[in-house]
Structure 1
Amino acid sequence: MRLWVLLAGLFAEATFAQEIEPARRIFEERAVRLTWTPVRDCSPILGDRCDRVGSAVILTSTESMALLATAEHVLPAAGENDLATISLVWRKPPGHCLPNLQPASLWRPVAPVGPRDDIAFIAAKVSCSVPLEPVPNAWADGAPSFGLTVHFLAGTPLDLSAPITLSSTCIRAISCFDGGVVHLQDRSLGGVSGSAVFSTDGIAGIASTSTHLVATPQMFEWLATCATGDCRRSGDDVDLQLWLKALQSSTATR
């Protein structure tokens, strides 16, 4: 009996690995490492942002520019010459592309107050022609079920995380998809802020705190808000409406 249970478990793992593989490849080729350099001495005691490493994901791209999403809290404080201090490194670029992306414009909420506002967008210039289709959307058919299982990519080289499930607390309270965020099991997202969190169906959201992600619909809502000029913008005057239309097109849904 134990042997059959073991074999059944191994078969289930192998089957799931095959199911998640297409999504893993999509997000592996879009993963970006984000770092920044403080313009002055950093003091958490004074309320400074001192976490200088985060992640981002390419949502879509044209021949010369990519649109990235990240967590707002991994960025330098607004107004501190933010774009000039940010470095973006494409984790696994195509062979004919340089890994360094050049930030051109940055959008973020004017006054973020919690996980639902922990989102920002960066338009970055790329060194090569790599038009990437809009990322598939795990919410295309509505909110995922309470059986949602998600992953992220982390490490060097990039590796797939163990499966992450919804918090048992939020399942009991029927509040796992609440206020634009998704509540996950404790400490599941530590150290990967700004990364794409995805299921077999596509992007489920952007990693925020260790137990929350900004849900994809909330991300699109903020993108629409920024496209109308109601966000804090730094850098070039890039037309976000074009990106928004591309991401809302039929290619972004299943």
Structure 2
Amino acid sequence: MGEQGGQVWKVGDLARLTGLTVRTLHHYEHVGVLRPSGRSPAGHRLYDEGDVRRLYQVVALRDLGLPLEAIGTALAGELDLTALLREHLAHVEQQLTALRSLRTRLTALVASARSRRVGPDDLLGLTEEVIKVEETIRNYYTDEQLAFLERRRGEIGEDAIAAVEAEWPELIAKVQAEMDAGTDPADPRVRALAERWMGLLEAFHGNDPGVRDSLYRMYEENSEQITRQYGGPPAAMRDYIGRAQEAAG
């Protein structure tokens, strides 16, 4: 096990060191893009240095917009790690350029708004910057997936969508209350909340595997920003729900 007796990591340690959740690592194993190289005598998953290298490749390819179902195929051949690092760096630099530009414009407008009226030219320019940043969504959803989501929105209807959106804050508050009380995720109350949680998510992704994976990846990689701006569930809460799901079998 391991690369010539090198270092190994348990799944919890790997999750803590990378910022991924245990549930995500289990999912990667389930779909076959990252299987642990061995098991401890107690049956715990053990990842070696080769697995860590492959994990980075999976994460980088996801960040570059490749769906999980295509990553396994890409990794089946010899992937040039140096070339991937360069491509990943270029991709991140593009994202940073868009965000820096938006930040600069917003900072200037906030400062000037104290002494003058913010005019239409200002807002048009700001809108352009926001659109550039929003285009990063395409790093998570393919054109086909975005078209699927648009069709699904039409099928569900605006009233049903509004009802689902209105239910999220209440559900998040109930889960937070159970977390604050120290309730075991295996408790029937928490498992019922987890079932409803997954039902609300399914209303969005329609049980489409690609859309579901893209949604989870977007939350994994932007958890703090989503929580701060939109009140979305923090990573600890999503992990709590994941453990409730696992307990439910």
Q: TM-score, normalised by structure 1?
A: 0.21
- Larger-Rg structure: 2
Q: TM-score, normalised by structure 2?
A: 0.21
> Comparing both structures, which one devotes a greater share of its residues to strand?
1
